Amino acid sequence: MLSHTLANGAADADGGGLSLVEWARELAGRVVRPTAAERDRDRRWDQGIFAELSGARSGPGLAGPLVPRALGGGGLSATRTCALLEGLGDGGRDPGLALAVGVHAVLATVLLRAFGNPRQQRRYLPRMASGEWVGAVSLRQTQGAAHASTVTARPAAAGLGGWVLSGELDLVAGAPVAHHFLVIAAHDDGSRTAFVVDRTTPGLLINDVGPVAMRTCPWGQVMLDGCVVPEDAVLSTVGGAADEVEPLLAALDWVFLSAPWLGVMRALTRDAIADAREHHLFGRPVVHAQSARFTLADQAAQCELASGLLYRAAGQFDGGGRPSREDAAAARLFVAAAARAVTEGAARLPGALGTTGDHLIERAHRDALFFAETGGGTEVLRPVIAASLLGIG
């Protein structure tokens, strides 16, 4: 099923000879960064920014990098997509927007690419790759069975066909602007099925609520009040979500939603170096203080270690499948801890708030705390790693 999911050849589109990280950093620095602090303050999603990122003419665009070119996407490898998202986080300095882009561009599109039937793929993927249609996913559903039971599925009445979905999903990234949603629902026998549910489905309601963090991501709660969906709304097989959809969804979350944070950490480290050179402590530049040098060295090391773990896991997608759960979980666990450490280290340096004026340290600190709890948090990630080490996974 997954042998060709992400390994159909990496495109070499790179924006005029720049690496993809550099190209995405330049694009995001021009399009995203100027209003990041303002949009964060106003808790505002900017559809125009998303459209500009999606339709970038000098490179692959960020709405569908993993969608095959035949279906209108960028046709990139997983590794190169990771580079795009790193550059977005670095140049844009906007963790909330980067999260929304990653959920749509990776989680929502890859699940349709991997498990959608040909009709579903032809209908959804070209419009998703162009940014015309946004796909939304609840971050609760990347945790597997713990939250799947919040939505139930039962067969529709005789003569109607399809399924009736009832329940609610919170922490749905992209909900207020989404065209459709991934919904994993539980059956009476405990099995689970994944569905693609259009926004226009009768009985589907959206409440515009979300966490205090990642304020530039459009959050919402999705209520399903007896929504009747056709058989063709099923992704993969009926009752097969636990073995098919959920493991891939978790791996995609752990790897690709971590990639923008690598970029944010690099931006924070560059800011910290600039601050240490510009500001003085006891009449000498901060950069001459041994404690400051140790902090900067630690930040740089955290960035490089996070990069190695992330790109190793992304490269395993390109090998014809997906990373081991241990590798994907280890990457996420380390990046989440590193994001907090780098942010806190940067904040402790004298003059840390002086050079940029965009309040990145404050925003990143708040959002990093939230990021550390998503994807299951340490309660899910550490047992996954331990189970693999002990041979009981």
| CATH number, domain with residue 293 | 1.20.140.10
Q: Is the pLDDT of residue 345 over 50?
A: yes
Residue 5 in 3-state DSSP?
A: coil
Say which residues have a Cβ less than 8 Å from residue 18's Cβ, sequence separation at least 6: 26
Q: Residue 5 domain-assigned?
A: no
Instruction: Clarify whether residues 79 and 160 are in a common domain.
Output: no
Q: Which domain holds residue 91?
A: 20-134
**Is residue 105 pLDDT above 50, yes or no?**
yes
Residue that is last in its domain, among 173, 204, 239: 239
19, 135, 287 from 105: Cα distances, Å? 20, 8, 40
The answer to whether residue 253 scores a pLDDT higher than 90 is yes
Taking 80 as the threshold, does the pLDDT of residue 238 lie above it? yes
Final residue belonging to a domain, choices 177, 207, 239: 239
For residues 123 and 258, state if they share a domain: no
Q: How many CB atoms lie within 10 A of CB 2?
A: 15
Is the separation of the CB atoms in 78 and 317 below 8 Å?
yes
Q: Has residue 122 been placed in a domain?
A: yes
pTM given for the model: 0.92
Kindly state whether residue 154 falls inside one of the protein's structural domains: yes
Note whether 228 and 186 are same-domain residues: yes
Residue located via tokens 């790179």? 14
Q: Is 8 part of any domain? A: no
- 43 and 116 belong to one structural domain: yes
Q: Are residues 155 and 194 in the same domain?
A: yes
The whole-number pLDDT of residue 7 equals 43
Of 138, 41, 20, nearest to 87 by C-alpha is: 20
pLDDT mean across residues, the chain: 88
Q: Quick one: 380 and 259 in the same domain?
A: yes
Residue 14 belongs to a domain: no
Two structure tokens written together for 287: 């950069």
Asked whether residue 225 is assigned to any structural domain, the reply reads: yes
For the cut 90, the answer to whether the pLDDT of residue 332 exceeds it is: yes
Do the domain assignments include residue 2?
no
**CATH number of the domain within which 106 lies:** 1.10.540.10
* 269 and 375 assigned to the same domain: yes
Q: Does residue 13 carry a pLDDT above 50?
A: no
Contacts of 64 (CB under 8 A, 6+ apart): 54, 72, 73, 74, 105, 109, 125, 128, 129, 130, 131
> Does pLDDT of 25 surpass 80?
yes
**212 and 250 fall within a common domain:** no
Instruction: Indicate the DSSP class of residue 387.
Output: H
In tens, the pLDDT along 118-170 reads 999 999 999 999 999 999 999 999 875 555 568 999 999 877 789 999 999 99
Give the span between the Cα atoms of 64 and 49, in whole angstroms.
15
> What pLDDT, on the 0 to 100 scale, is given for residue 277?
74
Q: Beta partners for 168?
A: 223
385 and 287 inside one domain = yes
Domain membership flag for residue 354: yes
Phi, then psi, of 205 in degrees rounded to 5:
-125, 150
Tell whether 42 and 128 lie within a shared domain: yes
pLDDT at 356 (0 to 100): 56
Q: Are 63 and 130 in contact (CB under 8 A)?
A: yes
For the chain, the domain total comes to: 3
Residues 216 and 316 in one domain: no
* CATH code for position 225: 2.40.110.10
* Beta bridge mates, 194: 184, 235
